[in-house]
Amino acid sequence: MAIDSSSREDHPGPSIKRKPSLSKGTSGGTGTAKEVSDLKKATFHQTRQIKDWEADDRDVPPAQNPVVCSADWAYQATDLVKIDEEGVRAAADYINKSLETNSYTPRTWRIHSLHICPPEPYSPAEPQTKKCLDWIFLIASLNFSFWSEKDDNDRYGVEWREGWESSKYRIWTGYWSLVAAINRALEEDIPIIDSAFYSSSELCSDALIEYVFRPCHRSKEDLPMLKDRISIMRENGNILCEKFGGSFQNFIQEFQRKHQNRGTALQLVQMATETFPTFRDETHYKGHKLYFWKRAQIMIAETWAAFYPPSPAGPHPLFPAGAAIHQLTMFADYRVPQIMHHLRILAYPPALTATLQAGALLETGCREEVSIRAASILGVERMREEIAKMRRGDEEGGKDAVSSVVIDFYLWDLAKSVEGGGESVGVIQTVEMVPAHRMRSIWY
């Protein structure tokens, strides 16, 4: 089973019907005195931690990921999606056994046929190292909103090889259509991962980018939000060129210099969100600023996995003092919450289930969206804790360590496998798979 970390989506359900939010950001009632008190305590705790983080010297590792602090507060403030502790324990046991049985590790990233992998042993001077990093950066920049109202034959797809080493062709859909289109362009000698190229409308016109992402013959739609993607390519490419000599490798080297080769994955995520506004996945709910950072975290997690050393005991070439990858959370999108609900890790109230089944298009920052994303983050954190207990190991880099990143990778792969009929989770109790929540956004 290949790590399919990158974006998520695909075909979440029936056609879109706009439907009002269940509450437009209200908590759905006054609640008991204890619930109000708990929320006030959570508000104080979350606000203090976020303010402490915002005031921090970024050279000092933060005590906790602000995404976790945000999720903790939002989970209580929205009071909608719930974490089922029985489901958490059952799923954690199932996932733990599956990870061990299938030898599912960060190195699994390297086996996917469409990935561009760096050379081993690590060599910063090798052109393939820069190529891999620039490829990861562009894909992470465009890694959002692939779902379609159309059926599998009509939806956006890209025809390309089954892999870099294959002579057979197939049609790729969803997130993999993005990867296939970029790979196809590289094969056609279009330098699409060169920021100096794609940031320039003279060198790389909108028409050329449209050509790069052209659909296959059977598709009856184009890549969703293509104009937004072009705008992001221009903006991110210009920032890389103006501040980092036009490469993501230089961005990482500046990070290493700044932190004297002791920086963590979370600090690199923070640097990405500070540098590139289009990675700043943040929203406000009831007057509180919430951090989700889906694409920023997944970009750094992909980078960590791509360069993960052959031996977990060896130093990571990009994080020689330790990545502290356990500080990153899952990547709150719409595909992983869907499988988490199926596994009974998350419990949806009937009204939310009805909204999803109706194919309603949610508004960014509405109660339902915030609650689903927050509960998903906390649900994976709970599973990580349970798996750590099972393995009696919780140190990043240790042989028994399991991060929320790897759990997320696994859950997304599992969702795709279950959807395609390739895997059944009948060994544990599940509920009916409901459509993923729908919205159009550059954040996921």
Is the Cβ–Cβ distance between 334 and 436 less than 8 Å? yes
CA distance readout (Å), 160 to 77, 115, 204, 232 = 46, 13, 22, 24
Tokens of residue 398, six digits = 């240790």
CB-based contacts of 385: which residues, under 8 Å, 6+ apart?
Answer: none
Using DSSP's 3-state secondary structure scheme, residue 282 falls into strand
Is the Cβ–Cβ distance between 381 and 404 less than 8 Å? yes
Q: CA-CA distance, 150 to 13, in Å (whole number)?
A: 9
- Chain centroid, CA 136 distance in Å: 13
The catalytic position among 4, 10, 72, 333 is 333
Q: How many CB atoms lie within 10 A of CB 254?
A: 15
Amino acid at 156: Y
DSSP letter assigned to residue 28: S
Amino acid at 45: H
CA distance readout (Å), 35 to 39, 41, 158 = 6, 10, 50
Is the Cβ–Cβ distance between 297 and 331 less than 8 Å? yes
Q: CA-CA distance, 120 to 215, in Å (whole number)?
A: 35
Is the Cβ–Cβ distance between 118 and 130 less than 8 Å? no
Amino acid at 309: P
CA distance readout (Å), 352 to 14, 20, 89, 197, 356 = 15, 12, 24, 45, 6
- DSSP class per residue in 2-27: ----S---S--SS--B----SSTT--
173: which strand partners?
A: 157
Active site residue 189: no
Residues classed as catalytic: 333
